[in-house]
Amino acid sequence: MERIFIKETPDKIGEKVRVCGWVQTVRTHGKIMFFDLRDKTGIIQVVIIPNKDFFAKAKEIRSEWVVALEGTINQRPQNMVNDKIETGKIEMLAEGLEVFSSAKTLPFPIDGDGYEISEDNRLKYRYLDLRRTRLQKNLVMRHKVFNFIRNFFTNEGFVEVETPILTRSTPEGARDFLVPSRLQAGNFYALPQSPQQFKQLLMVAGLERYFQLPICFRDEDTRGNRQPEFTQLDFEMSFVEREDVMAINEKLLVALVKAVYPKKIIQEIPFPRLTYAEAMGKYQSDKPDLRKDKNNPDLLAFCWVIDFPFFEKTEEGGWTFTHNPFSAPAPEFRDDLLEKRNIPNIIAAQYDIALNGFEVGGGSIRNHQADALEAVFEIMGFSKQRIQENFGHMLEAFKYGAPPHGGTAWGMERLMMILENEPNIREVMAFPKTGDGRDLMLDCPAVIEEARLKELHIKIEVLKEPDKN
Ligand code: ASP
């Protein structure tokens, strides 16, 4: 018999059906047994009466065994109706049982929210943790958001392009993860901190409108709510100015909330705008929380922060970029940049999107002319040789006819965390790592065999014993 999903069972009263899933709870009332059977769509109460030939087998079943049950869907007696679940008005009278798998006792309960359970345990047994309704819902909502974004960009004439994972270092303010090359002894790839250079090169290539939902990698120091790998919405457009890119961001965010989170309220549309100086002066933050009612879990207060300084002082007294070295200056500062004067006052054509006190996105109009990009690196004290070695390909590309362009990237986990009112980004990811970058389920990072290292031409000399936890 064909299996149906549990959520379909209320429409099958009087019919015989087959459902499959996990036995969530087993209860006995006198001689009768009750199972709550769970699949990805819901829970159904199954009644098993002793005169059935499979009753003895049914008595062995414990929580989380995986079974198929066949039987007739009946209306529950009025006093047994449970209004809290979708299948609360019906139950199944079992007429057949098939056991697919037994199950050990789970290391923790999965029927609650799970916030109270030690996170190490939850991450070690993530495949069990993910059985809980809250996390399944988070993954489903994440899919709906991603799907909405894909459709939105497709309708707006964007093309989804996947860019490489084995790549060369991009300066985005963090350390790169490195991958040794076996074929090019002594050389390393870097995992992308973002597809920044590729998306700009796609603009030089004439794609005009690109988007992607890429995984990005940043090797940052342990920080509670960061992950070494995370997902962005990344997009780039040609022949645009700052207002055009801001407008499409806003259009997408408003449409997304309306379609996928219709109960949520956006506090102000168009999103209010603050300059960096205003935000810092008024809120001491470049991602201010503008919510008028911080207790309302459905309130979304988006705002733009614009007019960021391009450069900031390094600890050594030089200059570095505040956001993205590929940004253009605001048009009125172009000459200052080219002349390398008035550096602390140069404003970047950068815009950030803040939401309820978090930075959820940022982008800029880029330097599409080689001389301006070169000036940025010169201000940062890079030698001609270093500029050539690291960014020669960008400078070269811009000499073959580069359109003016700009784009944005959103941090998808941060956005999902806020939309789902979760306390951290790990709750909206399938397989997150710990704050110090370990995968407790796969137990990695892990030691690599000597032979594999040899193949990679690598000899390890441990300069510092790693901290043992
Ligand atoms: N690549 C930038 C980032 O990852 C975003 C952008 O400017 O498009 O933050």
> Is the C-beta atom of 200 inside 6 A of ligand 1?
no
Q: How much is the average pLDDT of 133-151?
A: 98
Rounded to the nearest whole angstrom, what is the distance from the C-alpha of residue 198 to the centroid of ligand 1? 12
Q: How much is the average pLDDT of 20-25?
A: 97
Each residue of 262-285: pLDDT tens digit? Answer: 999 999 999 999 999 999 999 999
Q: How much is the average pLDDT of 319-338?
A: 95
Is the confidence at residue 465, as pLDDT, over 70? no
Q: Identify the band that residue 374 occupies on the pLDDT scale cut at 50, 70 and 90.
A: very high
From 186, 342, 220, 358, select the one nearest 287 (Cα to Cα): 358
Rounded to the nearest whole angstrom, what is the distance from the C-alpha of residue 409 to the centroid of ligand 1? 5
Is the confidence at residue 463, as pLDDT, over 90? no
Question: What atom in ligand 1 is closest to the CA of residue 408?
Answer: 8
SS3 track for 268-331: CCCCCEEEHHHHHHHHCCCCCCCCCCCCCCCEECEEEEECCECEEECCCCCEEECCCCCECECH
Rounded to the nearest whole angstrom, what is the distance from the C-alpha of residue 391 to the centroid of ligand 1? 17
Alpha carbon dihedral 95, 99, 103, 108, in 10-degree steps, equals -40
Query: What's the pLDDT at 344?
Result: 96
Q: Identify the band that residue 177 occupies on the pLDDT scale cut at 50, 70 and 90.
A: very high
Tell me the Cα Rg of the chain.
Answer: 28
For atom 6 of ligand 1, the residue with the nearest CA is: 363
Rounded to the nearest whole angstrom, what is the distance from the C-alpha of residue 408 to the centroid of ligand 1? 6
Query: What's the pLDDT at 467?
Result: 62
> Is the C-beta atom of 227 inside 6 A of ligand 1?
no
Strand-strand pairing, 273-275 and 302-306: parallel
Q: How much is the average pLDDT of 31-37?
A: 96
Collapsing DSSP to helix, strand or coil, 362 comes out as strand
Q: How much is the average pLDDT of 324-339?
A: 96
Helices (H), 130-195: 133-155
Q: How much is the average pLDDT of 164-189?
A: 90
Structure tokens at 13: 């009263």
Rounded to the nearest whole angstrom, what is the distance from the C-alpha of residue 305 to the centroid of ligand 1? 15
Handedness of CA 135, 138, 144, 149 (dihedral sign): negative
Query: What's the pLDDT at 464?
Result: 73
Hey, how many other C-beta atoms are within 10 angstroms of the C-beta on 215? 13
Q: Identify the band that residue 466 occupies on the pLDDT scale cut at 50, 70 and 90.
A: low
Q: Identify the band that residue 23 occupies on the pLDDT scale cut at 50, 70 and 90.
A: very high
Question: What atom in ligand 1 is closest to the CA of residue 193?
Answer: 4
Query: What's the pLDDT at 468?
Result: 55
Query: What's the pLDDT at 200?
Result: 98
Q: How much is the average pLDDT of 382-398?
A: 94
Q: How far apart are CA 106 and CA 120, in angstroms?
A: 15
pTM for the whole structure: 0.95
Sequence-ordered list of residues with C-beta below 8 angstroms from that of 334, at least 6 positions apart, any chain:
328, 372
Q: How far apart are the first and last CA of the chain?
A: 52
Residue percentage of the chain with pLDDT more than 90: 91
For atom 7 of ligand 1, the residue with the nearest CA is: 363
Question: What atom in ligand 1 is closest to the CA of residue 234?
Answer: 8
Greater confidence (324 vs 262) lies with: 262
From 211, 200, 208, select the one nearest 237 (Cα to Cα): 208
> Is the C-beta atom of 324 inside 6 A of ligand 1?
yes
Question: Which residue among 169, 209, 234, 238 has the greatest number of ligand 1 atoms within 8 angstroms of its CB, and so is best to mutate?
Answer: 234
Rounded to the nearest whole angstrom, what is the distance from the C-alpha of residue 414 to the centroid of ligand 1? 15
Q: How much is the average pLDDT of 351-360?
A: 98
Is the confidence at residue 152, as pLDDT, over 70? yes
Query: What's the pLDDT at 52?
Result: 79
Is the confidence at residue 309, as pLDDT, over 90? yes
Each residue of 92-139: pLDDT tens digit? Answer: 999 999 999 999 999 999 999 999 999 999 999 999 999 999 999 999
Is the confidence at residue 469, as pLDDT, over 60? no
Q: For residue 239, is it left (φ>0), alpha (ψ between -120 and 50) or beta?
A: left
Q: How far apart are CA 380 and CA 372, in angstroms?
A: 13
Rounded to the nearest whole angstrom, what is the distance from the C-alpha of residue 34 to the centroid of ligand 1? 54
Q: How deeply is 357 buried, as exposed, middle or buried, from its count of CB atoms within 10 A (0-12, 13-18, 19+)?
A: middle
Sequence-ordered list of residues with C-beta below 8 angstroms from that of 171, at least 6 positions apart, any chain:
321, 325
